[in-house]
Amino acid sequence: MFLGYVLAIAGAVVGAVLLVASTFNPPLFAGLRMTAAAVTAPVSSGLAALGSAGATVTGAIDGWVFAHAENAAMKRELAVTRPLLMQARTIAYDNRRLRALLAVRDRTAQPVVAARLVSSTASSGRRFALLDAGRLHGIEIGMPVRGPDGLIGRVTETGPNAARVLLLSDTDSIVPVRRTRDGLPAIAAGRGDGLVDIRSVNTTNVRFDAGDVFVTSGTGGLYAPGAPVARVIASGADTVSARTFAHPDTLDFALVERPFIPVPPPAGLPTAAGR
């Protein structure tokens, strides 16, 4: 206890002396302060570096955890939105096709029915398509079939609720056409390989250029004039290959039309005017 009192009194005396000395002679302790600072500066610098490194490591860990969580959330969102995007694209595609088909219907006099193309032969030698409408819907043999992009073919067989369509690219298909830029008459004949041949009519050495567009001419009375048929692939003379505008394997709906000039009834049958 005595030693404690002695140390306390000595500390108080030393503190008082130092206080008086620092008040009346401040530069006296500058050397001591700088010596203490020189000793403590490396320790403070090391402690600051350790703190900065710890903060950097902590930030990197937090960033990795946040990025990992954000990446997982984005993957989940992508998995949810991908089917919606595919559905939206399908709806937009169908909408464009249906709008184009409605425009064709509005320009066509007395269309019979708009039906769905449920199948088509795209690789065999014969080229046919199947409609999901038939005699019950007013479809008859010989009626032209059009799509949003142009002529598809004509009906060759009918059932109660189905009809078979002979495509333009079939070898039995022959369509009278004309060139749009000068009205040159020609024949579009199917080749059986997805293309058609454009053949000149009653003339020779007729020149066809790549990109020539041919539409129905109305000759024969089956197809109404002006329906897009095919575009020439490569230049040539007399007979050239062309690609049809309508691609049945990519179509959803088609429009069945009445013949441009209806076939007269057989002799002996009463007509509508004579009833």
Q: What is the pTM of this model?
A: 0.58
CA distance 67 to 98: 45
pLDDT at 273: 45
Instruction: Give the homologous superfamily in CATH for domain 113-256.
Output: Rod shape-determining protein MreC, domain 1 (2.40.10.340)
pLDDT at 158: 92
How many Å is the maximal CA-CA distance in the chain?
Answer: 150
Mean pLDDT of all residues belonging to the chain: 79
Bigger pLDDT: 175 vs 70: 175
pLDDT for 82 beyond 50: yes
pLDDT at 116: 84
Looking at residue 274, the DSSP 8-state letter turns out to be T
pLDDT at 263: 58
Bigger pLDDT: 216 vs 124: 216
Q: Tell me the pLDDT band of 122, cut-offs 50, 70 and 90.
A: low
CA distance 127 to 121: 5
> Which amino acid belongs to residue 271?
T
Q: Tell me the pLDDT band of 22, cut-offs 50, 70 and 90.
A: low
pLDDT for 120 beyond 70: yes
> Which amino acid belongs to residue 41?
A
Give SS3 for 99.
helix
Q: Tell me the pLDDT band of 275, cut-offs 50, 70 and 90.
A: very low
Bigger pLDDT: 177 vs 115: 177
Bigger pLDDT: 178 vs 48: 178
CA distance 256 to 254: 7
Does residue 145 contact residue 257 with C-beta atoms inside 8 Å?
A: yes
